[in-house]
Chains A and B, each alone.
Chain A
Amino acid sequence: MSRIGVFVCWCGENIARTVDVEKVVNSIAELPGVRCAQHYKYMCSDPGQAMIREKIAAEKLDGVVVASCSPHMHLKTFRRTVATAGLNPYLLEMANIREHCSWVHHDREQATAKAIDLIRLSVAKARYDRKLEPIRVPVTRRALVIGGGVAGIQAALDIADSGYEVVLVERDPSIGGKMAGLSETFPTLDCSQCILTPRMVEAGQHPRIRLYTYSEVESVDGFIGNFKVAIRQKARYVDMSKCTGCGECSKVCPLKRNPSEFDYGMGMRPAIYMPFPQAVPARPVVDKEVCAKIIRNGCGLCEKKCAPGAIDFKDTDKMVEEEVGAIVVATGYQLYSIGREQNSDKLRGYGEYGYGKYKDVIDSLQFERLVSASGPTNGELKRPSDGKIPQKVVFISCVGSRDNAKGMPYCSKICCMYTAKHTMLYKHKVHGGEAHVFYMDIRAGGKGYDEFVRRAIEQDGAKYYRGRVSKVTEENGKLIVRGADTLAGIPVTIEADLVVLAAAMRPADGVADLAQKLNVGYDEHGFLLESHPKLRPVETNAAGVFVCGACQAPKDIPESVAQASAAASKVAVTFAASELTREPEIAHINEQTCAACFACVRTCPYHAVEKAEIRARSGALIKHTARVNPGLCMGCGTCVAVCPSKSADIEGFSEEEIYSMVEALA
């Protein structure tokens, strides 16, 4: 016979105002299996917990039901309470008579009756509770960081400096991400590469960071503490062990005019090229789409010129396997491509701005390259059409952002700040020039940010108009920008030499595929989903997988760096013990009765059920069975529902327990 103790909480007035706790206690005390029942004002408080511990000892209880708030609030609290009293924590049940009862009903009589029913259910379940032990899983204390932009680099350095090995995978030929291509950063106007390249070099040389560039994650298997990752190293056609980075190959390559990815098409690069002068690793890569040797076995000049013989046209993609215990996703962003070609049916571009039609309508990253000292025009702001220095530049904010009709409904957060920065960079280079900005609102919430924007307006003379731009046309060689100023209530038309569009931030290409491989959720825009937007911003619902930077939501560099360090600290928490503990309320398969139909294997959303064989000591096969991986199972119960032989069940939520609850109500 059970000896269950029931403890009914008043929760101050939250429960007691609506539920007659006295009546509840009297009613419950009479149930078979209930050894004692009492109520108290605040069961979660020290005296309340002490009461539970005393009763466990005095009445030799073998089960406890706490009728109070939601388990989300205090399940952990009460489990610890009973554990310290020597009772297995999984012999505790909670009846939610607050969120499920007193907070949603007004009628005292009905609410009390319902509370009694809820507790009866928990008592019925408690009678079938079994002692359970947490599951222990070994941990490989190595981390994988996907993405080598500023967030990925920061996370990798923090984890490596904590003493763990890091595998850093970057799909471009060099790490550095978008930040490596920026000119100066707000609000300090630091040279972007000057502050980033030391970190890049450190990451490239760190003894505990294994860097795979020009590589992508192909597949991820396993679970927290025990991931197996397959990485594809794409063929560079350059032997990294022999190449000295001298650059002679690029000089001699005859195919000089390919649009440069790093310069977003504002400059050209040869077919064999160094991504940019400060690249890490500082080694070239061959563009196999245009290289004459690769396409039709012609040319080959670079191979002949290379003294150490580092060019290898027989190079192929290589697959590498790494074992890690935690994964940090830092895949960053791309800008919304404003022209007609889109990679989504829902997006149609902005034909009214003439991007792609007029050469001198460019986006913000292209502008960064034009003003960058190491850019295609060596820092002279020459406009793409004729190379002249523009005397009037119009900056248009919110292109693709805050747009329910043709773009993304969200705000891209960084554009107000970088547009102000752009006006300042422009004015610093072209003292007599005019900078005009069309904006909707100014979002400058960071430290020193609002002052920065005011500086652009008040000291550097940027003219700000509050209104969107409707159309950009071309007349007599000038770009006619038709906007409005709603503060004055007038249309405003400006004849510009150059138009810069602040395009929306979107997650990088291919992130949806990667998320599928990692079992990480993503929203309708492709941004990866954090576990909780307020309190768990760098964790995901896939155990052991963390996110940081712009792949989670639009954000600037300081936020990306902060999140990267946060993700690194979560990794350190994961690696703190040599074993990980998991809740034992997971599925298990009765291997005797299992018919090996593998419906569970197919339906498990976490790929937590494996096909296994039972063999005799001689090695002969006895039977096939399904087997739950205790490291991966999340206890959702799908396998229990589909199993035709009733071999699957959940610990702590067994069919027996659930049916007993149903019968208690009937």
Chain B
Amino acid sequence: MNLGYYPGCALHGSSNDYEQSLRACLAALGVTLAEIDDWICCGATSAHSLNHKLAIALPARNLALAHRQGLAEMFAPCPMCSMQLLRAGQAMAADKRLREEIADIVEAEVDGGPRVLNLIQVFQRIGLDKLKGAVRTPLQDLKPACYYGCLLVRPPTVVDFDDAEQPQSMEAIVTALGAKPVAWSYKTECCGAGMTMAKTETVLELSGRILANAVAHGANCLVVACPMCHVNLDMKQADAGAFLRTKFDLPVYYLSDMVGMALGLGAADMGIDRHFVVGGGN
């Protein structure tokens, strides 16, 4: 299977462990990734906060580049990117005048952009049965709290993925890998998103509550599919614990880490050794 690939700034920046992880695991599953040629930033929080037109133009440029490359589908591992790409795509599909205006702004044909997939959808596309069959080391000691965060499932009118209130798609995958996901209450609560630098206290409070609820429901690790969430829950875990006057020791895995571990890949292969919280793990 060949997919277009839009890494986004985080995966080529300080979340390059996520890229290492997903490249290793998808290669093992026979998926090739065709990186979008000369992609640019999707605009993230800043564009949609300060400049509505720009917030459509930047992702639109990337959809156009993918279209130019002849890609029918593209995989965006960061939900902020995937949500912006989907939203721009939808806005232009609904409004011909906007489409033409944006085409002029981004200097490229924006008609018929590719389908945008998140990490969970890529695994669903590969097929849970195939995943299950490829498992060498069932993750039977892992009791993950599957954490979706915000933009994988919201707003439902844009992302149209799983259930916005009680999603189960990640649980289905980790169960197929032999793990025992816990039932907990903070699956879709916000971790603080892009406020890590600008409003650190907000992130510490929100992420701290998520970690606390996971622990309270018997989880021994967290699984995420977003680089932003990973930073807030992993890199900031010690600070979040201090903020809530407690200590956390919960490894935070990317979903691709879980799949890779189950396939028998090593921690170093996938960049798990580059996380901040080591804990139990591989």
Contact = CB atoms under 8 A, between A and B. Distances in A.
Do A's and B's CB atoms come within 8 Å in the complex? Answer: yes
Interface in B144-202: 163-166, 183, 185-186
A473 B186 contact: yes
A349 to B, nearest CB: 8
Given A475-B213, A475-B216, A476-B216, A352 B165 contact: yes
A357 interface: yes
A351 B164 contact: yes
A351 B163 contact: yes
Interface string B4-35: 00000000000000000000000000000000
A351 B185 CA distance: 11
Contacts of B164: 351
Given A475-B213, A475-B216, A476-B216, A340 B186 contact: no
B22 to A, nearest CB: 29
Q: Is the interface of A mostly helix, strand, loop or mixed?
A: mixed
B185 A350 contact: no
B182 to A, nearest CB: 12
Nearest to B164: A351
A474 interface: yes
B163 A340 contact: yes
Interface in A309-352: 340, 348, 350-352
Nearest to A348: B163
B216 A357 contact: no
**Most chain A CB atoms below 10 A, which of B164, B183, B185, B186:** B185
Contacts of B216: 475-476
A475 B163 contact: no
Nearest to B156: A348
Given A473-B185, A473-B186, A475-B185, A350 B213 contact: no
Interface in A357-374: 357
Contacts of A480: 185
A357 B184 CA distance: 10
B166 A351 contact: yes
Contacts of B186: 473
Contacts of B185: 473-475, 480
Contacts of B183: 357
A357 B213 contact: no
Nearest to A357: B166
A112 to B, nearest CB: 48
A473 B217 CA distance: 12
Interface string B192-226: 00000000000000000000010010000000000
Contacts of B166: 340, 351, 357
Contacts of A473: 185-186, 213
Interface in A63-107: none
Interface residues of A, number: 11
A350 B213 CA distance: 21
A348 B153 CA distance: 15
**Most chain A CB atoms below 10 A, which of B163, B165, B166, B216:** B165
Nearest to A479: B185
Nearest to B187: A473
Nearest to B186: A473
B148 to A, nearest CB: 12
Interface in A439-478: 473-476
Contacts of A350: 165
A474 B182 CA distance: 13
Nearest to B165: A351
Nearest to A476: B216
A340 B166 CA distance: 9
A494 to B, nearest CB: 15
Contacts of B165: 350-352
B178 to A, nearest CB: 24
Contacts of A340: 163, 166
Nearest to A351: B165
Nearest to B185: A473
Interface string B60-79: 00000000000000000000
Contacts of A476: 216
A340 B164 CA distance: 12
Nearest to B183: A357
A476 B165 CA distance: 21
Contacts of B213: 473, 475
A186 B69 CA distance: 68
A352 B166 CA distance: 7
A476 B212 CA distance: 10
Contacts of A348: 163
A350 B165 CA distance: 8
Nearest to A339: B166
A176 to B, nearest CB: 35
A350 B185 CA distance: 15
Nearest to B212: A475
A473 B189 CA distance: 10
A374 B114 CA distance: 61
Interface string A394-425: 00000000000000000000000000000000
Contacts of A475: 185, 213, 216
A60 B55 CA distance: 83
Contacts of A474: 185
Nearest to A480: B185
A631 to B, nearest CB: 51
A352 B165 CA distance: 5
A357 B163 CA distance: 14
A357 B168 CA distance: 13
A352 B154 CA distance: 13
A182 B216 CA distance: 38
Interface in B17-59: none
A475 B183 CA distance: 12
A366 to B, nearest CB: 20
**Most chain B CB atoms below 10 A, which of A350, A357, A475, A480:** A475
A473 B213 CA distance: 10
A352 B164 CA distance: 9
A267 to B, nearest CB: 25
A300 B213 CA distance: 50
Nearest to A356: B166
Nearest to B213: A475
B209 to A, nearest CB: 9
B185 to A, nearest CB: 4
Nearest to B163: A351
Interface string A475-507: 110001000000000000000000000000000
A475 B186 CA distance: 10
B278 to A, nearest CB: 27
A348 B166 CA distance: 11
A200 B155 CA distance: 50
B16 to A, nearest CB: 34
A340 B162 CA distance: 12
Contacts of A351: 163-166
A107 to B, nearest CB: 40
B152 to A, nearest CB: 15
Nearest to A350: B165
A475 B213 CA distance: 7
A514 to B, nearest CB: 33
A399 to B, nearest CB: 13
A426 B31 CA distance: 59
A589 B186 CA distance: 71
Interface in A567-592: none
A351 B163 CA distance: 8
B38 to A, nearest CB: 40
Contacts of A352: 165
Contacts of B163: 340, 348, 351
A480 B209 CA distance: 13
B156 to A, nearest CB: 9
Nearest to B167: A351
6 contacts: A351-B163, A351-B164, A351-B165, A351-B166, A352-B165, A357-B166
Given A351-B165, A357-B166, A473-B185, 11 more contacts: A340-B166, A348-B163, A350-B165, A351-B164, A351-B166, A352-B165, A357-B183, A473-B213, A475-B185, A475-B216, A480-B185
Q: Which 5 A-B pairs have CB atoms at the shortest separation, nearest pair first?
A: A351-B165, A473-B185, A351-B166, A352-B165, A474-B185
